[in-house]
Amino acid sequence: EIVMTQSPATLSVSPGERATLSCRASQSVSSNLAWYQQKPGQAPRLLIYGASTRAAGIPARFSGSGSDTKFTLTISSLQSEDFAVYYCQQHINWPLTFGGGTKVEIK
Amino acid sequence: EVQLVESGGGLVQPGRSLRLSCAASGFRFEDYAMHWVRQTPGKGLEWVSGISWNSGTIRYADSVQGRFTVSRDNAKNSLYLQMNSLGAEDTALYFCAKQGYTVASLWPDAFDIWGQGTMVTVSS
């Protein structure tokens, strides 16, 4: 099983600032990496798949990069609605596995 | 509107069974593989099971293999999860999710549509 590790666990950022979230895979997943956003009481929402492709309707301030075992989600200028928990997920091997999440909170 | 709505969760005693349902609308359900994913505060998000468009290919997480059975009825636009021999470790919020970008076949993929989830609590 591929283990996904996210860091940091919590990221404190001021509105308008840039946020950089990290995800690491225990073995290569090539570019088969997705990012999700989850707000309290809601389902996860797909932001990025294939490491860098934005899902439909996702604002351009969200960008993904990386390959192999190291990945980054960048939110260029945090808006109030972006404070949430973010998860990465590998989509190359069974079982599909998720990271433990990074909570982005208001500084 | 594309939508997935889960139902069937509740409080169940250890060792008992429960059947979850997921009703799909707003897309051609029969064209897509579907999945169940669960979430707990302790273990986070965990993929549970996936089923191809025609039920020809099915996969399970090791943690539920032999106890859970996934199925679908394309005529009813519905996905199901039969859960037997439930234990405390199965307590979670269960989501159904649509496979995003590989049409029909069951394939490691991202999930582009999620339901709101149905809560399963296993306790005596």
Residues B20-44 have pLDDT tens digits of 999 999 999 999 999 999 999 888 9
pLDDT bracket for residue A6 (50, 70, 90) = very high
User: Looking at residues A62-87, what average pLDDT do you find?
Assistant: 97
CA distances from A71 to A63, A86, A89, B13 (A): 11, 13, 11, 41
Contact check, Cβ <8 Å, B45/A44: yes
pLDDT surpasses 90 at B76: yes
Average model confidence (pLDDT) for chain B? 96
Contact check, Cβ <8 Å, B110/A94: no
Of A32, A44, A91, the CB nearest to B114: A44
Q: How far apart are CA B100 and CA A61, in angstroms?
A: 22
Segment among A2-6, A19-23, B40-44 with least mean pLDDT: B40-44
pLDDT bracket for residue B101 (50, 70, 90) = confident
CA distance A68 to chain B (A): 16
pLDDT surpasses 90 at A41: yes
CB A14 within 8 A of CB A79: no
Confidence (pLDDT) at A85: 97
Confidence (pLDDT) at A10: 97
Closest CA to B5 of B124, B123, B113, B101: B113
Confidence (pLDDT) at B43: 82
Confidence (pLDDT) at B106: 86
User: Looking at residues A42-60, what average pLDDT do you find?
Assistant: 97
Q: How far apart are CA A19 and CA A45, in angstroms?
A: 18
Q: How far apart are CA A29 and CA A32, in angstroms?
A: 6
Closest CA to B83 of B114, B45, B118: B118
CB A21 within 8 A of CB A11: yes
CB B34 within 8 A of CB B98: yes
pLDDT surpasses 90 at A73: yes
Q: How far apart are CA B72 and CA B88, in angstroms?
A: 26
pLDDT surpasses 90 at B104: no
User: If interface means Cβ-Cβ distance under 8 Å, which residues of chain A face chain B?
Assistant: 32, 34, 42-46, 49-50, 55-56, 87, 89-101
Contact check, Cβ <8 Å, B112/A32: no
Q: Tell me how far apart the terminal alpha carbons of chain B are, to the nearest angstrom.
A: 39
- Long-range contacts, B43-47 (Cβ 8 Å, 24+): B43/B92, B44/A87, B44/A98, B44/A99, B44/A100, B44/A101, B45/A44, B45/A87, B45/A89, B45/A98, B45/A101, B46/A98, B46/B92, B47/A95, B47/A96, B47/A97, B47/A98
In chain B, % of residues over pLDDT 70: 100
- Give the number of residues written for chain A: 107
CA distance A77 to chain B (A): 24
Question: Which of B109, B113, B118, B119 has the highest number of chain A CBs within 10 A, making it the mutation to test binding with A?
Answer: B109
Confidence (pLDDT) at B42: 82
pLDDT bracket for residue A98 (50, 70, 90) = very high
Confidence (pLDDT) at B78: 98
Residues 6+ apart with CB under 8 A from B61: A95, B46, B47, B48, B49
Contact check, Cβ <8 Å, A93/B62: no
User: If interface means Cβ-Cβ distance under 8 Å, which residues of chain B face chain A?
Assistant: 35, 44-47, 50, 59, 61-62, 95, 100-101, 108-112, 114-117
Of A42, A43, A98, the CB nearest to B44: A98
